[in-house]
Amino acid sequence: MNDTERHEIEMLLPWHATGKLSAEEKRRVDVALARDAGLRRQSELIGQELAQTVTSNEALMPPRSLDADKLMAMLARESKSPAAVASSWFARLKDTFNGPARVPLRWATVAAALLLVVQGGAVAILVAQRETGRYQTAGDLNGTQAPGTYVLARLNDAASIADIGKALQQRSISIVDGPKADGFYTLRVGGAEMSIAERDAKISDLRSLTGLVVFVAPLK
């Protein structure tokens, strides 16, 4: 490990302490910590810094007057409603995902077309339910859902089926449920053993697919 590599590791140590690194970054830091006593010492110091930062934050308590009723009274004086915002993202999404007949048909086609490899080697076949516009996995058909790590997502209905299928397949990600009434899909991004940092890395990766994925969030 040269000086540059060591310094990169040093800068990642705080996120190693909070479990917010990608799987690859965590592996690099773990290897470095095993070899370098100086880094291990820094890691101990970071633990102390973290504990005292939490204590300092928790000492700050809001006054009783910071209550919801006061906020509601202030809100009542607001003239502008967010609903008045033209073409809000949610409104567009609602149109996209919940339009009559159009969505179930389109995504039924997607489901029929995609055979997505679930991480670990198992294969999930998405079964379209044309009547309900909802999909079922093989696991769902058995009344069970396979153990795994799941995220909540909204997909870009304007994107091509081929592009979405290719992107998910390349990442061993499968659609396991949806669309729900609010337009969300459940995606399986990995096995149950996946760490939070690995899951967050998957989420970041999905968010980078800006033309295909509109929204991604962890399912806890």
Partner 1 sequence: MTESAQDLALMERLAAGDHQALKVLFMRYRLQVFRFVGRIVRNDAVAEEQTNEVFLDVWRNAGTFQGQSSPCTWILAIARNKAYGAIRRRREESLDEDEGQELADEGFDPEGLAMISDKALILRRCIDALPLEQRMIVDLVYYHELPVAEVSAVACIPEGTVKTRLFNARKRLSTMLLEAGVDREWP
Q: Which of 138/218 has CB closer to partner 1? A: 218
Closest distance of CB 113 from partner 1, Å: 26
* Spatial distance between the Cα atoms of 29 and 195, rounded to a whole number of angstroms: 15
One-character DSSP codes across 127-146: EEETTTTEEE-HHHHTT---
Q: Which stretch binds partner 1 (CB under 8 A): 11-19, 109-117, 160-168, 169-177?
A: 11-19
Interaction of residue 15 with partner 1, rule CB under 8 A: yes
Closest distance of CB 143 from partner 1, Å: 20
Show the binding pattern over residues 74-93: x = contacts partner 1 (CB under 8 A), - = does not: xx--x-xxxx-x--xxxx--
Q: Which stretch binds partner 1 (CB under 8 A): 29-37, 45-53, 96-104, 107-115?
A: 45-53
CA-CA-CA-CA torsion sign (135, 137, 141, 146): negative
Sequence-distant (≥ 6) Cβ neighbours of residue 112 within 8 angstroms: 126, 128
Among 159, 31, 179, smallest CA distance to 105 is for 179
β 123-125/115-117 pair status: antiparallel
* Spatial distance between the Cα atoms of 189 and 78, rounded to a whole number of angstroms: 42
Q: Which of 12/168 has CB closer to partner 1? A: 12
Number of residues that bind partner 1 (CB under 8 A): 59
Burial status of residue 84 (CB atoms within 10 A of its CB: 0-12, 13-18, 19 or more):
exposed
Burial status of residue 205 (CB atoms within 10 A of its CB: 0-12, 13-18, 19 or more):
middle
Q: Between residue 119 and residue 158, which ones bind partner 1 under the rule CB under 8 A?
A: 152, 154
Q: Which of 91/162 has CB closer to partner 1? A: 91
Interface positions with partner 1 (CB under 8 A): 10-12, 14-15, 17-18, 20-21, 38, 41-42, 45-46, 48-58, 60, 62-63, 65-66, 68, 70-72, 74-75, 78, 80-83, 85, 88-91, 152, 154, 182, 184, 200, 204, 207, 214-215, 217-220
